Amino acid sequence: MKRRMGEEDIAAVASLLRAAEAADGHPPLGEHKWIDLVQGGRSGFAGFVARTPDSSRLLGYAQLSRGVDSWGVEYAVHPSARDEHERVATDLLRAVLAEIADEGGGHVHLWVPKPGPTQDAIARAVGLERGRELYQMRRDLPLGEELARSPRAPVRPFVVGSDEASWLEVNNRAFHGHPEQGAWSAATLEERERQPWYDAADFLLHETDGRLDAFCWTKVHDDERGVGEVYVLGVDPASQSRGLGRSVLLAGLDHLAALGLCEVVLYVDASDHGAVHLYRSIGFAVDHRDQAYVGDVGARVP
């Protein structure tokens, strides 16, 4: 286990992650976890590696981070070790859960993209069960003629150095209690502003009487030509029931289409029926599902 990863560690893990992504067709680590790995991690970060007996080759990697009121875990196994997938993953996850116990225990989310029977068996082996489900939804751009007639909310680009405080207030109210999005700090936002994909022109804000009350943060994918993303869509709870979510989303989709993109993706909790209904009404369809396996770990007794 390593609390902070050196350059050689990061390079070795990055190579494993690239190999896993090439084999599976999707990144094995979410963006939050990748930033933690590269930048050293927030409080609660820990990296775990599994190597061959002679330590010459990396077989697997697991990463732990502390969320608002739970622990988040993700892992990857090198394609060359897939015949040992269950053993490697189970050993890594047992080490992760032991670390959580040492840190006082708590609720655990193990995120797995596109899970199958192997991932179900691994989760059962370490005492976790299926919990939250995340949809990746997609639709083509530009929008059709019918949606082109729907009203759009006026938006403006985010201004770096000026809008951070007001956006954080609205975001944290809109996503109160959300494990990943609900407790962003200035440091979290600044990390995103330093990412290669970040462009303030893609971060769209809506104001009412000079007060920020909704936003549609979009991004352009570097790894998928012609694809954009609705990164975060949020409405201040005090401004809900005004149709702002839909009208700000449409403004964001128009923005991506104007950039020449031909497809857009987004992620949403399957249990957020209101959001799923909104996205379906605008033509999004589920491309695949990601799964959280959950459980509670007790504190280790000295």
Sorted by where each begins, the domain ranges of the chain are 7-134+292-297, 142-261
Q: Which two tokens stand for residue 290?
A: 């990601």
Owner of token pair 């920020």: 212
Q: From residue 50, how far is each of 17, 38, 58, 268 by CA, in Å?
A: 13, 19, 6, 32
For position 78, what pLDDT does the model report? 95
23 φ, ψ (degrees, to nearest 5):
-75, -35
Classify 291 as helix, strand or coil. Answer: strand
Q: Which two tokens stand for residue 202?
A: 């893609």
pLDDT tens string, the chain, 302 residues long: the values are: 445 556 777 888 889 999 999 998 888 887 777 777 766 656 678 889 899 888 888 999 999 988 767 898 999 999 999 899 999 999 999 999 999 999 999 999 999 988 999 999 999 999 999 999 999 999 999 999 889 889 999 999 999 999 999 999 999 999 988 877 888 999 889 989 998 899 999 999 999 999 999 999 999 987 778 999 999 999 999 998 789 999 999 999 999 999 999 999 999 999 999 999 999 999 999 999 999 999 999 999 87
DSSP for 102-158? HTT-EEEEEEEES--HHHHHHHHHTT-EEEEEEEEEEEESS--HHHHTS-----EE-
For position 36, what pLDDT does the model report? 72
* DSSP code, position 68: S
> What is the chain's alpha carbon radius of gyration, rounded to the nearest angstrom?
20
For position 139, what pLDDT does the model report? 97
Q: CATH homologous superfamily of domain 7-134+292-297?
A: Gcn5-related N-acetyltransferase (GNAT) (3.40.630.30)
| Closest by Cα among 32, 39, 96 to 67 | 32
Q: Which two tokens stand for residue 204?
A: 């769209």
Owner of token pair 């104007």: 258
For position 250, what pLDDT does the model report? 97
For position 42, what pLDDT does the model report? 61
Q: Which two tokens stand for residue 85?
A: 């997938």
Rounded Cα–Cα distance for residues 78 and 84 (Å) = 10
pLDDT digits (tens, 9 = 90+) for 62-83: 999 887 678 989 999 999 998 9
CATH code of the domain occupying 142-261 = 3.40.630.30
Per the DSSP assignment, residues forming a β-bridge with 106 are 297
Classify 187 as helix, strand or coil. Answer: helix
For position 224, what pLDDT does the model report? 73
Rounded Cα–Cα distance for residues 191 and 185 (Å) = 10
**Same CATH fold assignment for domains 7-134+292-297 and 142-261:** yes
Contact 221, 267 (CB under 8 A): no
pLDDT digits (tens, 9 = 90+) for 97-150: 999 999 999 999 999 988 999 999 999 999 999 999 999 999 999 999 889 889
- β-strands 227-235, 263-269: how paired? parallel
Contact 273, 124 (CB under 8 A): no
For position 259, what pLDDT does the model report? 96
- 0.75 exceeded by the pTM? yes
In this structure, which amino acid lies at residue 69?
A: D
